[in-house]
């Protein structure tokens, strides 16, 4: 992977496809990496075949990017700035954005930060929790920091602990990330997102919140339900991919 420095934080990134094609930035979810979220489920190849220049990176604290251990280092505006400055570094003017879960939250704030650069927005695995807040952050952090998985009884805490172990993540960095100041987006801010936006959530996702409610709240939003998929299994689903392809056509 290539790397660039954003105010002392080294961000690892990679690109795929022809740089003359329209660009799309992919922002992965909490505890994941660009490879887990976008390469392994087939998203990167799918979007290249659809005619896009794909830009992917590991969020700070994740994958091959720099690890930080203070909650304030994971403020959503700082994480969105990592994304915007990466696109500046690559000299990409306008681009679409696809984010999943935490990556969708970052994507929404990115659209507010640089509205003239973000063309279209896809929020996967995130509904109205962007307004109401993410539940069980303390349970997730406790699950990540527990000495053993057997010590974790909370359902959501266990889910993220298992995922972190699967990806080989730095669990202390992830705990700092999940305990960051959880600034929610106000309804007024949601209405400031003028770009066309697709909200896509699994029908049995118990983490994301209400996707239809968020889409209806937006200036130009639409909702895609991914049948029989929970928060983890919706990521690479065919219905999700085809819905995104239709939205971006």
Can you spell out the DSSP letters for 161-203? HHHHHHHT--HHHHHHHHTS--PPPPHHHHHH--S-EEEEEET
pLDDT of residue 87: 99
The pLDDT of 122-151, averaged and rounded, is 92
The pLDDT of 24-42, averaged and rounded, is 97
Tokens representing 219 are 């200036």
pLDDT of residue 133: 87
Cα separation values, 145 from 58, 74, 214, 231, Å: 21, 17, 32, 22
Instruction: Give the rounded percent of residues in the chain with a pLDDT score beyond 90.
Output: 91
pLDDT of residue 246: 98
pLDDT of residue 222: 98
Please name the residue that has the structure tokens 């290539």.
Answer: 2
Torsion angle defined by CA atoms of residues 189, 181, 136 and 225, in that order, rounded to the nearest 10 degrees: 30
CA distance 242 to 41: 14
Question: Cα angle vertex 173, ends 169, 174, to 5°?
Answer: 65
| Per-residue exposure over 70-86, b if at least 16 CB sit within 10 Å of its own CB, e if not | ebebbebebbbbbbbbb
Which pLDDT tens digit goes with each residue over 79-108?
999 999 999 999 999 999 999 999 999 999
pLDDT of residue 183: 84
pLDDT of residue 20: 98
**pLDDT bucket at 136, cuts 50 / 70 / 90:** confident
Q: What is the DSSP string of 4-16?
A: EEETTEEEEEEEE
User: Whole-model pTM?
Assistant: 0.95
Question: Cα angle vertex 159, ends 156, 161, to 5°?
Answer: 110
The pLDDT of 151-178, averaged and rounded, is 93
Hey, what CATH class is 2-130+184-248 in?
alpha beta
Mean pLDDT of the chain: 96
Decide which of 212 and 232 is more confident: 212
Which pLDDT tens digit goes with each residue over 60-82?
999 999 999 999 999 999 999 99
CA distance 89 to 5: 10
Which pLDDT tens digit goes with each residue over 174-204?
999 999 987 899 999 999 999 999 999 999 9
Domain map (residue ranges) of the chain? 2-130+184-248
CA distance 165 to 140: 13
């Amino acid at each position: 992977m290539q790397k660039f420095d954003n105010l002392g934080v080294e961000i690892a990134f990679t690109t795929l496809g022809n740089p003359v094609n329209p660009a799309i930035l992919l922002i992965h979810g909490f505890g994941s990496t660009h490879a887990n979220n976008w390469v392994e489920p087939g998203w990167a190849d799918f979007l290249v075949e659809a005619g896009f220049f794909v830009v992917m990176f590991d969020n700070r604290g994740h994958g091959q990017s720099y690890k930080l251990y203070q909650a304030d280092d994971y403020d959503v505006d700082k994480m969105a700035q990592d994304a915007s400055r990466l696109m500046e570094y690559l000299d990409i003017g306008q681009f679409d954005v696809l984010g999943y879960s935490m990556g969708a939250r970052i994507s929404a704030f990115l659209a507010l930060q640089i509205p003239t650069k973000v063309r279209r927005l896809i929020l996967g695995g995130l509904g109205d929790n962007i307004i109401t807040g993410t539940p069980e952050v303390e349970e997730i952090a406790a699950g990540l920091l527990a000495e053993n998985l057997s010590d974790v009884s909370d359902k959501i805490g266990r889910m993220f602990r298992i995922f972190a172990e699967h990806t080989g993540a730095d669990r202390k960095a992830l705990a700092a990330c999940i305990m960051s100041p959880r600034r929610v987006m106000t309804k007024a801010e949601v209405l400031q997102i003028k770009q066309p936006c697709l909200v896509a959530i699994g029908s049995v996702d118990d983490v994301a919140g209400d996707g239809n409610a968020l889409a209806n709240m937006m200036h130009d939003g639409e909702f895609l339900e991914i049948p029989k998929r929970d928060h983890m299994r919706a990521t690479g689903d065919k219905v999700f991919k085809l819905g995104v392809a239709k939205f971006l056509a």
